């Protein structure tokens, strides 16, 4: 529903579209609302002590500015949006025009409010994984949740059809070194839970990971 509402809005206002290549960053200003139309981006925050903490992979269609408003607070120095697919396209909408549209369209208003609630739930879920399940549980839950974003079933299991580095996993799961990630992933390979195929993760036993994502 939200996608259709926004597409109607884009058509009505003839909003501009910009495109970014893989591993380039999107610099967002406060005057516009930025919407990821197509592609995949990684959202992370730079802490004031210089550490980078990954928040989420977002897959088009998604409202990046609303995500920024929902998860960034004063303890972060900046939000970073990096393109992870070969290319991503973004729509830019005047924040003033967007605010007027939300006020006059009840369905769009409901969608915006629901978006904020969902992102709060995501943040609480991630915190729960890291505090209750430790490093291993955080990684297990993270891998399981990649299935809904990038999973493609084949005869052997579910291929995570995007290259996710150990550094990125560490950043998502609040782990300080990639060595810990290496050790945990090696344990999963030895248990025949995952396999690495062409630098991508093939999940052989999703049920093993699922309890840590519930």
Angle at 53 between CA 95 and CA 40, to 5 degrees: 55
Instruction: Identify the residue with better confidence: 75 or 126.
Output: 126
What is the Cα gyration radius of the chain?
18
pTM of the model as a whole: 0.81
Residues paired with 78 in a beta bridge: 46
Specify the pLDDT at position 206: 96
| 39 CB-near residues (< 8 Å, 6+ apart) | 59, 60, 83, 84, 85, 86, 87, 88, 89
Whether the predicted pLDDT of 184 surpasses 90: yes
In the sheet where 87-94 sits, what is the strand order? Answer: 17-21, 87-94, 32-38, 62-63
Largest CA distance in the chain: 57
Whether the predicted pLDDT of 69 surpasses 80: no
Stretch 167-188: mean pLDDT = 90
Specify the pLDDT at position 161: 94
| 8 Å CB contact between 73 and 31 | no
Stretch 107-117: mean pLDDT = 78
Residues paired with 195 in a beta bridge: 202
Stretch 138-149: mean pLDDT = 91
74 falls in which pLDDT band (50, 70, 90)? Answer: very low
């Amino acid at each position: 529903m939200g996608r259709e509402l926004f597409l109607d809005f884009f058509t009505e206002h003839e909003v501009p579209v910009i495109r970014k290549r893989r591993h380039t960053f999107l610099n967002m200003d406060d005057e516009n609302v930025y919407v990821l139309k197509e592609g995949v981006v990684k959202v992370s925050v730079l802490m004031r002590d210089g550490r980078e903490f990954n928040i989420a992979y977002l897959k088009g269609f998604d409202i990046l500015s609303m995500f920024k408003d929902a998860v960034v607070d004063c303890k972060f120095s900046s939000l970073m949006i990096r393109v992870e697919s070969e290319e991503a396209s973004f729509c830019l909408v005047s924040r003033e025009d967007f605010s007027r549209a939300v006020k006059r369209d009840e369905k769009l208003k409901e969608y915006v409010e629901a978006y904020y609630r969902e992102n709060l739930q995501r943040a609480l879920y991630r915190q729960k994984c890291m505090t209750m399940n430790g490093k291993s549980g955080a990684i297990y839950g993270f891998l399981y949740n990649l299935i809904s974003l990038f999973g493609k079933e084949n005869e052997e299991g579910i291929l995570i059809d995007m290259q996710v580095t150990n550094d990125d996993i560490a950043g998502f799961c609040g782990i300080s070194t990639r060595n810990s990630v290496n050790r945990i992933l090696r344990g999963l390979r030895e248990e025949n839970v995952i396999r690495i195929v062409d630098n991508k993760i093939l999940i052989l036993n999703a049920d093993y990971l699922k309890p840590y994502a519930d």
